[in-house]
Amino acid sequence: MANRTPTPRQQTHLAVLIDADNAPPAIVEGLFEEIAKYGIASVKRIYGDWTGPQLGGWKKVLLDHSIQPIQQFAYTKGKNATDSSLIIDAMDLLYTRRFDGFCLVSSDSDFTRLAARLREEGLMVYGFGEEKTPSPFVSACDKFIYTEILRAGASEAVESGDKTQASSQDVTTSESKKPDAKTKVQKVPVDFIANVIDDIDDENGWVGLGALGQNISKLRPAFDSRLYGYKKLSDLIRSQTKRFELQLRGTSATGGEALYVRNKKADR
């Protein structure tokens, strides 16, 4: 069985499989920037019926991003042959044992069982889809990223490129303290975060921010600080000063520093 947590020296190889019928081409820039955070996109394939005009937007970006189009004719009206083709390819790639994880780009719940099957083999599964994606598919992935975030990020990057750049200090301050206005901001689930902290904290109530993020993702694969207007989990926690407190500690293992968080209580 493959190791779900590659050692730091290993390169994490990912297979990116895109359902062109259920993913907009506007996400392509943000999609591969996001995927680069998790590993190397060793395989990039996109599935659809390329004989029709409906995938014209994708055709314009395939060469720029070295995405291999896979032709799948719609043999019967109303039946999605693209899903079957993607699933078959995913299983073929799985049995090569060359990959550490898969990126499934679709808002279609038909890929729920595929995601579960890949995880059964010990591989990481990253899902990418719109906020309308059915919850069973979201829950079947190790992590799920809503593509509205990627589109908002792409729009922000284009706009920022047209404006005069602020100083690096001003940019850092702005990013850490202000919500991202381009994202449709949701209410921060402070009670949920507090419960996770209570479940895994030490005897003094502290938990490492990295461990907190990992446990949140296990419970809610679609959790993303950008959904709540913040680029990082640490920024989100800092914004909730009435509920949480942060502490910066030195680490003997790496010689660097790490953030720890705990719930604020009246008796402290």
Other C-beta atoms closer than 10 Å to the C-beta of 31 total 25
More confident residue, 153 or 18: 18
Percent of the chain with pLDDT over 70: 78
Decide: 18 and 108 in contact? Cβ < 8 Å.
Answer: no
Strands (E), the chain: 13-19, 40-48, 68-71, 101-105, 124-129, 143-146, 207-208, 244-250, 257-263
Angle made by CA atoms 38, 4, 122, in degrees to the nearest 5:
120
More confident residue, 179 or 195: 195
Domains (ranges, CATH) in the chain? Answer: 13-153 (3.40.50.1010), 170-260 (3.30.420.610)
Report the C-alpha gap between 173 and 171 in whole angstroms: 5
Report the C-alpha gap between 68 and 138 in whole angstroms: 25
Angle made by CA atoms 185, 188, 193, in degrees to the nearest 5:
150
Q: Please provide the average confidence, as pLDDT, over all residues in the chain.
A: 83
Three-class SS of residue 47? strand
Decide: 47 and 17 in contact? Cβ < 8 Å.
Answer: yes
Most confident of 131-135, 152-156, 169-173: 131-135
Token pair of 265, please? Answer: 């209580």
Mean pLDDT to the nearest integer, 243-248: 92
Give the strands of the sheet with 207-208, arranged side by side.
207-208, 257-263, 244-250
Decide: 146 and 224 in contact? Cβ < 8 Å.
Answer: yes
Token pair of 142, please? Answer: 């190790």
More confident residue, 9 or 49: 49
Residue 44 CB partners (closer than 8 Å, separation 6+):
16, 18, 65, 66, 67, 68
Residue 75 has pLDDT above 80, yes or no: no
pLDDT band at 123 (very low <50, low <70, confident <90, very high): very high
Name the amino acid, one letter, at 143.
K
Token pair of 243, please? Answer: 């509920």
User: For residue range 88-113, what is the model confidence (pLDDT) as tens digits?
Assistant: 999 999 999 999 999 999 999 999 99
- What backbone phi and psi angles, to 5 degrees, belong to 215? -70, -35
Report the C-alpha gap between 221 and 88 in whole angstroms: 25
